Amino acid sequence: MSCLSPERIYSYLDGILPAEEARQAEDHLSSCAGCRTALEERRMLALAMESLPFLELPPDFSARVIAALSPGRVTLRSWFAALAFWLSSVIVTLGLFVLITGERGGGFLLSLIRAAWAGLKNASLLFARFATLVILAGRAIRYIVIFLVKGVILVTSLVSPGIQAAAIFLSLITLIGLWFLVGRGRLVGERS
Amino acid sequence: MDEDKQLVKRTLKGEKDAFEMILRKYQQPLFNYVGRMVGEREMALDFTQDIFLKAYSFLPTYRDDFKFSTWLFKIASNYLIDYWRRKKVQTLSYDQPLDNGNDGLAMQLPCDKPSVVRRLEMAELRDRIEGALKKLPCQLRELFVWRHVNGLSYEEMAEIKGLPVGTVKNRVFQAKEMLRRLLEEKS
């Protein structure tokens, strides 16, 4: 058997040579001082490579990363807790107000309900106006679309099919070009 | 289900301390990798932080049929590829031969001159390896670090890079042989 190639030596050291090839390599090593030296050197080198030191991290590294994280997702339980806290605060505030001012609780509640009702009426009015505005905007968009469609029909009736095909081809080329340009700027994580 | 996957699930439910546990587990391996890839400490710290932030934001896309460490190293590897691309560092394809076809594995054994490995103390040898590592092409350095510093298996590396296991093994052997040659040249 001829001398071992470096690839075979590394495979032998990694223990990934098939059994028969490993046996042949050992036979050769027992009779070839040069290959034994080469194997020993690579074994020592591998030892040094596998014991390279860790690079030192600052002790506050993980705290720094955690601080840089965006606020975490809010769980349903947190939402309920927040709501319960808010409601209890309102009740306590109202109770204190009634106690301090000496107003009758019933009268105070009645005026509060009246104020809330007036607020609701105003809000409904505002919502109705907003809805009207949205409907008008919808109509305007519809007229614009109809106008554009009619315009396209008119243009296609005036221009020959050859020119139309060329225009479509050019548009496609432009779109593909833009897609490539945008595609090159993608973030690394989108591939992972 | 393994510990990492449990921690990912808990993080996705909004438990930040679960992500902190992931962070504490992987910050050192990731920094060892990134640090040796970019060579500058402060930059390596910023990059490692960015990679963790990216991993956190992409966590909802993590599929648990992947090993978490593999997924994390893949994000890190893509991050570094983008960095080299921005820096216009020439990167090789893994299928491209190195050094005009002289891939380091073609050379014949042995050599009569006493090797640098025998002449140096272990600590000095490690220092020399760190120095020579900076001269390896990025792709070879990446696989070398994964294998010898992070202790990844050939199969894990193949999964991260989307390459056949045989190609990865071959490239790691090339990296080692090239490194050995650089050490011999320097001595």
One domain, residues B69 and B127: no
In a domain, B58, yes or no: yes
One domain, residues B83 and B111: no
CB A189 within 8 A of CB B76: no
**Final residue in a domain of this structure, among B54, B87, B120:** B87
One domain, residues B117 and B82: no
pTM reported for the whole predicted model: 0.63
In a domain, B176, yes or no: yes
In a domain, B92, yes or no: no
One domain, residues B75 and B107: no
∠ CA A42-A44-A45, nearest 5°, is 60
What was the pLDDT predicted at B31?
97
Distance CA A81, CA B72 (A): 35
CB B144 within 8 A of CB B174: no
One domain, residues B78 and B139: no
Name the domain count of chain B.
2
In a domain, B161, yes or no: yes
A55 token code pair? 């690079």
pLDDT at B102 over 50: no
- The residue extents of the domains of chain A are 6-50, 133-186
What was the pLDDT predicted at B170?
92
Q: Which domain holds residue B63?
A: 3-87
B43 touches chain A (CB under 8 A): no
One domain, residues B104 and B181: yes
A58 CB neighbours in chain B (<8 A) are 45
> Among A98-102, A174-178, B40-44, whose mean pLDDT is lowest?
A98-102
One domain, residues B182 and B104: yes
Pairs across A and B, CB distance < 8 A: 139
A2 touches chain B (CB under 8 A): no
The domain that holds B143 is classified in CATH as 1.10.10.10
A6 touches chain B (CB under 8 A): yes
Tokens 């294998």 belong to which residue? B147
**Final residue in a domain of this structure, among B87, B108, B127:** B87
Distance CA A37, CA B173 (A): 18
What was the pLDDT predicted at B144?
95
The domain that holds B12 is classified in CATH as 1.10.1740.10
**Final residue in a domain of this structure, among B62, B87, B112:** B87
Q: Give how far A61 is from chain B: nearest CA, Å.
A: 8
One domain, residues B111 and B176: yes
What was the pLDDT predicted at B100?
43
Give DSSP secondary structure letters for B147-161.
HHTS---HHHHHHHH
Tens of pLDDT, residue by residue over A73-121, are 556 777 788 889 898 988 888 788 777 877 676 777 788 888 999 999 9
Q: Can you tell me whether residue B100 is helix, strand or coil?
A: helix
Distance CA B25, CA B34 (A): 16
| ipTM attached to this prediction | 0.79
Whether residues A192 and B71 touch (CB distance < 8 A) is answered with yes
Tens of pLDDT, residue by residue over A15-25, are 889 999 999 99
One domain, residues B107 and B181: yes
Helix A33-50, helix A19-31: angle, nearest 10: 120
Helices (H), B13-153: 16-38, 41-58, 68-87, 116-119, 122-133, 138-148
B18 touches chain A (CB under 8 A): no
One domain, residues B107 and B170: yes
One domain, residues B174 and B149: yes
One domain, residues B15 and B83: yes
